[in-house]
């Protein structure tokens, strides 16, 4: 089964004004949609970053994959390495999306196509993708409610405000959690932090604890707290948290914080590849790693990461950036295949609008906090070509070509700069 055609399409979809350590989400998020067609008529799907440096590699790959056997993942990897070497190093991207780091060019381009190749393979064998990963250990994959501080609308107001409204106060954050849990049945809650005063963010965790006493809680300041601040907040938080995600920057800072507090620390910032994993184990910097197949080098390498976590006694959860249903299903299939998924995965999916899903049938359900896998072949979703065309047109109509939350924040405050740690 040979690859006959490859198509990479950049898209843009509306994104809410969500606050974080690097600024605020822009009005549109970018993604790349990958279609890989085999000579016997199967189409495999992938979804990855849409930022210009990543897109350049993905688009440069398109023709080089034609003629490759759809089962030849080593051949795919060799061609990714060749293409990245030919194009040269990319510029650094947003820090919150480690996948756009120049060091991740091979891992993220390989991942984008690996998912599509595995999807083609599974479809040709008439089996769900998870079966190629060793089979489903679970068919219901748990996700967490992912809360954000946010404004009611974007400053540039390119479209009508989203329906979530402002969320800056404790009451508003609790209301956001209530709506998200009501809609999707999430059993755990994550609060994106590092945006407002740390004491206020901790007060919001306390309010969530009071409102949802049975939901495990996580806070993620994206390394925007100094060690001293992280220690002070740890004192205030006590044992309110399931885990403490990237409170303070660096492997050394995290190691010292863990040594001094004993709190379980999670990360998607200081352990983003196997070299950092090794260094983290040596320092005991983190106790939980957030996997993300988009930059960990695909679904099989994510399984390897899971085995490493098991070997070294670390917990495993999953990181997310703004994404649509193809990524959600890739995340769900790999999470279903991993024995030691110790925590519910993160997802931005509830933040994406109903009319902007790129797969047929619209947005996928998340019920009882879970994505359910079916026996449908491959990823179990089909591309809606009309939606793809619409979202591609939207991409062409805007001038965002790489995510930059700081640039967006400067529209609100021209003097605003990323300072890490800010607090």
**3-class secondary structure, 36:** strand
Taking the least distance from each CB to Mg ion, the nearer of 110 and 243 is 243
Q: Spot the catalytic one: 101, 104, 294, 319.
A: 319
Nearest to 110 by CA among 278, 273, 333, 315: 273
Distances (CA, A) of 238 to 140, 193, 262, 265, 285: 31, 17, 11, 14, 19
Sheet holding 145-148, edge to edge: 145-148, 189-192, 217-220, 241-245, 265-267, 288-291, 315-318
Taking the least distance from each CB to Mg ion, the nearer of 119 and 220 is 220
Taking the least distance from each CB to Mg ion, the nearer of 268 and 302 is 268
Taking the least distance from each CB to Mg ion, the nearer of 14 and 218 is 218
Minimum Å gap between C-beta 258 and Mg ion is 16
Minimum Å gap between C-beta 98 and Mg ion is 9
Minimum Å gap between C-beta 204 and Mg ion is 17
Known catalytic residue at 294: no
Taking the least distance from each CB to Mg ion, the nearer of 248 and 268 is 268
**3-class secondary structure, 8:** strand
C-alpha span between 404 and 382 (Å, rounded): 31
Provide φ and ψ at 267, rounded to 5°.
-155, 145
Minimum Å gap between C-beta 197 and Mg ion is 19
Nearest to 335 by CA among 317, 351, 323: 317
220 contacts 251 by C-beta, under 8 angstroms? no
Minimum Å gap between C-beta 254 and Mg ion is 12
Minimum Å gap between C-beta 245 and Mg ion is 5
C-alpha span between 349 and 318 (Å, rounded): 13
C-alpha span between 49 and 247 (Å, rounded): 25
Nearest to 46 by CA among 370, 379, 407: 379
Minimum Å gap between C-beta 261 and Mg ion is 18
68 contacts 75 by C-beta, under 8 angstroms? yes
Q: Categorise residue 245: left if φ over 0, alpha if ψ from -120 to 50, beta otherwise.
A: beta
- Residues in a beta bridge with 359: 383
Taking the least distance from each CB to Mg ion, the nearer of 55 and 204 is 204
User: Strand 43-49 relative to strand 28-38: parallel, antiparallel, unpaired?
Assistant: antiparallel
Taking the least distance from each CB to Mg ion, the nearer of 83 and 285 is 285
Known catalytic residue at 319: yes
Q: Is 377 exposed, middle or buried (0-12, 13-18, 19+ CB in 10 A)?
A: middle
Minimum Å gap between C-beta 97 and Mg ion is 10
**3-class secondary structure, 109:** helix
Q: Spot the catalytic one: 104, 150, 192, 215.
A: 192
Q: Categorise residue 165: left if φ over 0, alpha if ψ from -120 to 50, beta otherwise.
A: left
Taking the least distance from each CB to Mg ion, the nearer of 220 and 356 is 220
Residues that bind Mg ion (CB under 5 A): 220, 268
C-alpha span between 402 and 386 (Å, rounded): 24
**Which residues are tagged catalytic?**
192, 319
């Amino acid at each position: 089964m040979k690859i006959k055609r490859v198509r990479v399409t950049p898209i843009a979809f509306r994104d809410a004004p969500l606050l974080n350590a690097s600024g605020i989400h822009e009005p549109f998020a970018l993604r790349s949609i990958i279609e890989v067609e085999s000579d016997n008529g199967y189409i495999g799907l992938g979804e990855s970053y849409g930022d210009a440096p990543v897109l350049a590699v993905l688009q440069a790959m398109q023709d080089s994959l034609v003629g490759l056997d759809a089962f030849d993942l080593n051949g795919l990897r060799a061609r990714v390495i060749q293409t990245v070497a030919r194009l040269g190093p990319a510029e650094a991207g947003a820090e919150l999306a480690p996948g756009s780091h120049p060091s991740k060019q091979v891992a993220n381009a390989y991942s984008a196509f690996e998912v599509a190749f595995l999807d083609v393979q599974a479809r040709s064998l008439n089996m769900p993708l998870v079966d190629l990963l060793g089979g489903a250990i679970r068919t219901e994959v748990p996700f967490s409610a992912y809360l954000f501080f946010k404004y009611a609308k974007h400053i540039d107001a390119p479209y009508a405000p989203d329906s979530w409204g402002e969320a800056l106060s404790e009451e508003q954050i609790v209301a956001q959690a209530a709506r998200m849990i009501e809609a999707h049945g999430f059993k755990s809650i994550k609060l994106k932090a590092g945006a407002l005063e740390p004491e206020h963010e901790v007060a919001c965790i306390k309010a969530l604890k009071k409102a949802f006493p049975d939901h495990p809680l996580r806070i993620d300041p994206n390394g925007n707290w100094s060690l001293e601040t992280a220690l002070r907040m740890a004192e205030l938080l006590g044992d309110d948290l399931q885990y403490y995600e990237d409170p303070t920057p660096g492997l050394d800072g995290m190691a010292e914080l863990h040594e001094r507090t004993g709190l379980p620390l999670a990360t998607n910032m200081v352990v983003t590849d196997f070299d950092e994993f090794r260094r983290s184990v040596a320092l005991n910097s983190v106790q939980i790693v957030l996997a993300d197949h988009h930059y960990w080098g695909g679904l099989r390498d994510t399984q390897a990461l899971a085995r490493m976590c098991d070997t070294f006694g670390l917990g495993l959860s999953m990181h997310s950036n703004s994404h649509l249903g193809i990524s959600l299903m890739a995340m769900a299939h790999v999470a279903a295949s991993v024995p030691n998924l110790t925590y519910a995965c993160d997802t931005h999916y509830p933040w994406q609008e109903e009319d902007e899903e790129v797969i047929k049938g619209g947005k996928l359900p998340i019920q009882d906090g879970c994505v359910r896998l079916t026996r449908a072949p491959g990823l179990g979703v089909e591309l809606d070509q009309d939606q793809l065309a619409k979202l591609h047109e939207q991409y062409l109509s805007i001038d965002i070509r790489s995510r930059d939350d700081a640039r967006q924040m400067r529209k609100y405050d021209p003097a605003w700069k990323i300072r890490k740690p800010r607090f």
